Amino acid sequence: LSRLQEILLRAAGDDRALRVVGAHDGLTAILAERAGFDAIWAGGLGISLAHGVPDAGILTMTERLADAVRMKRACELPIIADVDSGFGDVNIVRRMATLYAEAGIDGVCIEDKRGPKRNSFWPSNCLEDPHVFAHRVSVIKETPKTSLFVIARIEALIAGESMGDALDRAALYVEAGADALAIHSKHETVAEIDKFCSGLQETDCDSPIFVIPTTYPSADVHQLHRLGASGVIYANQGMRAIVSAVEHTFEEIMLHGSSLPLESSIASVDRLFDLSGAHSLLPVTATGQ
Ligand code: SPV
Ligand code: MG
C-alpha cells in the first residue's frame, strides 16, 4: 500500500476524512505538520504565487517538482502534488510520473482540462476529452517502477457541464486506474458536491473522493465526510492568510516607521529558530569545524 492509501484506510477506520492543506515551501510544510494535517497539497496556485507568477502554467514541471521536494524534505507528511493537466501531452505526462515517483512524491492530482493552463476559478477553462484524459491516468499508473497515488480531478462542474458528464468521467477515470477522484465545484453551497457523491454511490463506485471547499467554506470537514468525501483539501487558505498578514505587517511598519505596534502579534525570532529546528544544531568548534 502507498502511504496515501494507508492514511486513507486509517482515516476510514476512524470514520473521518483526511485533512489536506495547501503549502508551498519548507516553512508552510512544517506549519501544516505542526497543525496536525494528514497530508500536504503542493498546489499550483500557492507555488506559483510564491514565485510571484500567476497560476497559468508559467512554472516548468521541474520547478514545480523542486518545490514539492522541498516540502517533502521539510516534514514527514505525504505530499500530493498538483500537476495541472500533466504539463503537456501523454509523453510528457509519462515522464512527469517517472520524475515525481523517483523524487519520492506520494501522489499526483491531474485535472481533465486542456488548452492554456488557468486556475479553475479563472474564466475560460476548457475540458479535455474524457477518453484522452483516462488514457493519461492509465499511463501514469502503468509507468514502470512508480507507485504514485493518482487522483483524477474532474473539472466538468467548474466548466458548466452536467452532473451526468461529471459522473461519466468519474467512471471512466476509475476504470483507467485512478486511485481516487477529486471533484471540483465553484458553487457557494455544497449541493453540487452532495449530488456528485450520492450519484457516484448509486453507481456502486467506491473510489475515495477528494473535495476542495474554497467557495463553500460553510461545509465543514464532518459534513463533507458525511456526504461521502474521503479527503478535504484546503488548497489556498494558508497562502491567503500569508498575504493578509504580511501585507498588514509591511503597511504598519511603513505607517509607524517601526515595528513596535506589531511586536505582540508577530512571531518572535525565537519561534523562527524553533520552527527551523535551529535548537537541534550540532555544536561546532570555534574554528567552525
Ligand atoms: C491549486 O491550489 O492550484 C488548485 C486548487 O488547483 S484550486 O485553486 O482550487 O483550483
Ligand atoms: Mg492547481
Residue nearest ligand 1's atom 5 by CA = 235
The contacts of residue 283 (CB under 8 Å, 6+ apart) are none
CB contact set of 120 (below 8 Å; sequence gap of 6+): 111, 155, 158, 184, 186
- The predicted pLDDT at position 120 comes to 87
Cα 282 to ligand 1 centroid, rounded to whole Å: 39
Q: Write out the three cell numbers for 138.
A: 492509465
Cα–ligand 1 centroid distance for 60 (angstroms): 17
- Residues 272, 277: Cα–Cα separation, whole Å: 9
pLDDT of the residue at 45: 98
Give per-residue pLDDT as tens, 51-60: 999 999 999 9
CA atoms within 13 A on the CB side of 49: 18
* Residues 130-159: tens digit of each pLDDT: 999 999 999 999 998 878 999 999 999 999
Provide the pLDDT for residue 240. Answer: 98
The ligand 1 atom nearest the CA atom of 84:
6
